[in-house]
Amino acid sequence: MAKQTIANRTKTAVGGAERIDLRSIRNFAASLSGDVIVPGDHRYSQARRVWNHAVNVHPAIIARCANTQDVVRTVEFARRYGLLTALRSGGHSFAGHAVCEGGMVIDLSSMKRSWIDPLRKFITIETGVIAGELDCLTQAFKLAIPLGSCPSVGVAGYSLGGGEGSLTPNFGYGCDSITRLEVVTADSRVQVASAQENTDLFWAMRGAGANFGVATSIEFQLHPVETVLSGHLKYPLRQAKRILRFLAEYAPAIPNELFLIAAVLPYPGDRMLDVAVVWSGKEKAGERVLRPLRTFLKPFEDSIKVNPYLEEQRSGTGTPAEGDYSSHRKSGHFDQLTADVIDVIADYTHSAPSEASGISIIYWHGPWCSGSHDNAFGFRRTGFEYWIHTYWKKSGERKRSWEWVEQFYAAMKPLSTGAVYVNGLEDEGDERVVSSYGSKYARLTGIKREYDPDNFFRVNQNIKPAP
């Protein structure tokens, strides 16, 4: 169908550094096992869409790759014609880095083959697999990888940028469980990265993976997880200050098994403070640890109970995961939930422009959130990660929502450490990318020079090749 659409067109209409004749595009499409979608194809408007509807760009060619050879051919083609090139796995990057204006999209979303070895506890996935699919597969064997709980986020985007989730305090970030990758690099070679082969590439892909090539498959070590003690405590927003003051004391003393997130979220007709917990240790110990939190102030809802891990992952976080939403967010990190931080949070959440405007705060702690671990992930910080978020559907709501996030963030900035999670960024400039990698940035620029000296992979949180 796509090949017909290309054939029926009469003009060369593809952007990029050079114009491309239609015969070349037809030949390229014919060389793939997968498919090519161009403007005019009835699937185009859907295929160019990403999770954040505020991103509205028009790629020239979307190559739906079916296998590694398709990716190799697409990289070769894009290089030959000097096309700006984006990589798409789950399409959930806040910045919309899965698409680019007038360029090539290497769309991996059809590549979903997976191989699991439950005895050795390893899984290899192709990089079109999304988190909900992975969780179903691994939980069939009572195994898991630490990743977030939005089922439609790509496993590649999660884990190559970090991969924070409720199992992180226990088992690390998603990138910490990667044991091997197959990568198509900027010279269109297929390379293996592991602890034995291309060790610099292996180090860099785990935390900064969007910058060094197209990961076509990823092998992960799996962890045994069956049930968790988890749920939500919900409070009216007017009680937020009291709860946050309590969390300021409670959070720094919690054991490694506890994942803790507090968020101002919509509640029908209003908003609320939602404190969500996931305890991945022994149930009795979890009950003891959670008792002070559950009894400090009576919530209007307490849903904490033992849940199959898969059910917990599916229960969502209150963030609009799918649908026609535009979004804006700003994130950061502070060491302590001080009185000043609490005041700023209370002030801005009370003046929020819409129900869908709020803030989420995760307390990171334990061995995976500090110290040096041997990969590129740059946000191992004990303390509180936060993101201020807003969502809107009608374009008229954009300005007020956007400005509220900016003003709220400006008030938080002096109270923040400057550290930020790379997957939490929108397009915010080089300085924020450098902050997200901290002391690891210098080494990354050297590896970038080695594997991608022309910065072919630059539709991402970009690391510039060292001179």
Ligand X SMILES: Cc1cc2nc3c(=O)[nH]c(=O)nc-3n(C[C@H](O)[C@H](O)[C@H](O)COP(=O)(O)OP(=O)(O)OC[C@H]3O[C@@H](n4cnc5c(N)ncnc54)[C@H](O)[C@@H]3O)c2cc1C
Q: Considering the complex, what minimum distance in angstroms separates the CB of residue 181 from ligand X?
A: 9
Nearest to 130 by CA among 98, 105, 169: 98
Cα–Cα distance, 392 to 326 (Å, whole number): 5
With 0-12 CB in 10 A as exposed, 13-18 as middle and 19+ as buried, what is 300?
A: exposed
Interface of this chain with ligand X, residues 46 to 85, rule: CB under 6 A = 51
Nearest CB to ligand X, comparing residues 51 and 250 = 51
Note whether 207 binds ligand X by CB under 6 A.
no
Nearest CB to ligand X, comparing residues 103 and 157 = 157
The residue with its CB nearest to ligand X is: 157
Interface of this chain with ligand X, residues 214 to 273, rule: CB under 6 A = 214-215
Q: Considering the complex, what minimum distance in angstroms separates the CB of residue 24 from ligand X?
A: 25
Cβ atoms of 333 and 419 closer than 8 Å: yes
Cα–Cα distance, 336 to 339 (Å, whole number): 9
With 0-12 CB in 10 A as exposed, 13-18 as middle and 19+ as buried, what is 443?
A: middle
Query: Which one among 41, 70, 135, 164 touches ligand X, defined by CB under 6 A?
Result: 164
User: Which phi and psi (to 5°) does residue 447 adopt?
Assistant: -70, -35
Note whether 103 binds ligand X by CB under 6 A.
no
Q: Considering the complex, what minimum distance in angstroms separates the CB of residue 4 from ligand X?
A: 27
Q: Considering the complex, what minimum distance in angstroms separates the CB of residue 431 from ligand X?
A: 18
Note whether 278 binds ligand X by CB under 6 A.
no
Query: Which one among 28, 77, 81, 158 touches ligand X, defined by CB under 6 A?
Result: 158
Distances (CA, A) of 325 to 181, 356, 391, 395: 33, 10, 6, 10
Note whether 154 binds ligand X by CB under 6 A.
yes
Cβ atoms of 15 and 8 closer than 8 Å: no
Note whether 276 binds ligand X by CB under 6 A.
no
Q: Considering the complex, what minimum distance in angstroms separates the CB of residue 253 from ligand X?
A: 24
Q: Considering the complex, what minimum distance in angstroms separates the CB of residue 301 from ligand X?
A: 22
User: Which phi and psi (to 5°) does residue 270 adopt?
Assistant: -160, -165
Query: Which one among 32, 143, 156, 244 touches ligand X, defined by CB under 6 A?
Result: 156
Cβ atoms of 111 and 155 closer than 8 Å: no
Q: Considering the complex, what minimum distance in angstroms separates the CB of residue 203 from ligand X?
A: 15
Cα–Cα distance, 452 to 456 (Å, whole number): 6
Note whether 172 binds ligand X by CB under 6 A.
no
The residue ranges that bind ligand X (CB under 6 A) are: 51, 87-94, 97-98, 108, 127, 148-150, 153-154, 156-158, 160-165, 209-210, 214-215, 319, 321, 423, 460
